[in-house]
Homo-oligomer: A and B are copies of this chain.
């Protein structure tokens, strides 16, 4: 047995993931994509593929029950995992839920969690397939797995974007992180003043707070794409911010990208929060996570066709040759390079 002890933070989570990807188990003919995309892809029949994706949510790291009601968090977890299936242009069908629960959580809290899970499943057309319930002396850890499907011809991955394709993003970005900033401010206020009677008035921030607490996976987008016979060349969901996700698209499609900051869609409510916090709204927009919008790439002619039927997306850039790297052109015309592609 190895006696070396390398702390995980020394190499970082992404490097550890890279190491773990070298373990592949057996070669199974039906497996088309394993690790590396939003979801694993398995051949189910002559023309149909199964999609599988799984995520863990850790109390204290991924959620904080002090400002995250459990019904909301149940819903949000489903959005997070479903979003991975949608990003492959697939439709979710079933959900497995594993809960590791400390004793200080009540039956009612878990029922609230399940109300949110159930609501999201009904909205996204998924059955709850079961799962596992176990005790944990420490904190709550939830693990959700979504099963979905897609016709083989409709599968979209991260790796097939073409040079010149338009980079499109749905909805607007940065709102979820703006909502988080508001909730954290309220939590701090509450902790410092300790007055349980004073309920914070979040009415002014309803838009951003809802985007943090109840983000909606964009199943509507892929249904609309299909209805108008448009198949993106590549797609990814926005869980970690535009720069990180476009970096993934570039790496896996072996291309670069040129982004126009002025074209990145940001809601006025998100700008107001950034102003109030005296923070840079562009940081929210480019690096803020958990928006669960979609980033997809389309040839120009498909953009022209699709925009006639669906207007809830913005073209924020173009795929370029790999040598050009990932470049962000600011509103002032400055070019900022991100050298994460290598």
Take A27-B127, A95-B25 as given contacts and tell me if A141 and B132 are in contact as well, using a CB distance cutoff of 8 Å: no
- Give the nearest-CB partner of A105 in chain B: B8
Question: Whole-angstrom distance between the alpha carbons of A8 and B110 in the complex?
Answer: 9
Q: Does A44 contact B (CB under 8 A)?
A: yes
CA distance A19 to B30 in the complex (A): 37
A329 within 8 A of partner (CB): no
Q: Is the CB of A111 within 8 A of B19?
A: yes
Contacts of A58 in B (CB 8 A): 100, 134-137, 141
Contact of A138 among B21, B24, B139 (CB under 8 A): B139
Q: Is A341 in the interface zone, CB < 8 Å from B? A: no
Given contacts A35-B129, A141-B136, contact A96 B52 (CB under 8 A): yes
A40 at the interface (CB under 8 A from B): yes
* A7 at the B interface (CB under 8 A): yes
A147 to B32, CA, bound (A): 14
* Interchain CB contact under 8 A, A127 and B19: no
Q: In the complex, A4 Cα to B108 Cα: how many Å? A: 7
Chain B residue contacts of A141, Cβ below 8 A: 56, 58, 100, 136, 141, 143
A289 to chain B, nearest CB (A): 13
| A227 at the B interface (CB under 8 A) | no
Tell whether, in the assembled complex, residue B36 and residue A114 are in contact, meaning their CB atoms are under 8 Å apart.
no
* A99 CB–B CB distance under 8 Å: yes
**Contact at B125–A60, with CB atoms within 8 Å?**
no
Q: Bin the interface of chain A by size.
A: 35 or more
In the complex the two chains form, is B143's CB within 8 Å of A98's CB? yes
Q: Are A26 and B137 in contact (CB under 8 A)?
A: no
A119 to chain B, nearest CB (A): 9
Note all chain B residues with C-beta closer than 8 A to A147.
42, 50, 52, 147
**Most chain-B CB neighbours within 10 Å: which of A60, A105, A138?**
A138
Chain B's nearest CB lies how many Å from the CB of A104? 8
Using a CB–CB cutoff of 8 Å, the interface residues on chain A facing chain B are 1-2, 4-11, 13, 16-17, 19-21, 23-28, 30-31, 34-36, 40, 42, 44-46, 48, 50, 52-58, 60-62, 69, 71, 93-96, 98-101, 103, 105-108, 110-112, 114-115, 117-118, 121-122, 124-139, 141, 143, 145, 147
17 more A-B contacts (CB under 8 A) besides A24-B128, A56-B98?
A1-B112, A2-B112, A9-B103, A11-B107, A16-B110, A19-B107, A20-B114, A23-B115, A25-B117, A28-B93, A34-B128, A40-B94, A40-B129, A42-B93, A42-B129, A45-B48, A58-B100
